[in-house]
Amino acid sequence: VLRRKALVKAAREMGATVIATAHTLDDVVQTYLLNLLKGEGNIKPVGLRRESGSAIPRIAPFRLTPQREVALYAYLEKIPFQVRTCPYTHTSMRDKVREFLNWYSAKHPGSLYAFLNNFERMLDVLSKTVPEKRCEICGEPSSRRICRACEIELAIRRELGLDLEESEGLKREADIRGEEQ
For the whole model, what pTM was predicted?
0.71
Task: List the chain pLDDT tens, one digit each, 181 residues.
Answer: 788 888 888 998 999 999 999 999 999 999 989 988 887 765 666 655 555 555 788 889 999 999 999 999 999 999 998 888 888 888 889 999 999 999 999 999 999 999 999 988 888 777 666 667 788 888 887 777 888 888 888 888 888 877 665 555 555 444 444 444 4
Identity at 85, one-letter amino acid code: T
pLDDT of residue 95: 93
3-state secondary structure of 141: strand
Domain 2-116 sits in CATH at 3.40.50.620
Instruction: Output the CA–CA distances (angstroms, integers) from residue 131 to 126, 134, 143, 159, 178, in the order listed.
Output: 10, 10, 9, 34, 18
- Every domain of the chain and the residues it spans: 2-116, 133-181
pLDDT of residue 26: 96
Give the whole-angstrom CA distance, residue 68 versus residue 76.
12
Q: Is the dihedral of CA 31, 34, 38, 42 positive or negative?
A: positive
- Dihedrals φ, ψ of 59, to 5°? -125, 155
pLDDT of residue 180: 45
3-state secondary structure of 159: helix
Residue 126, C-beta contacts closer than 8 angstroms, at least 6 positions apart: 43
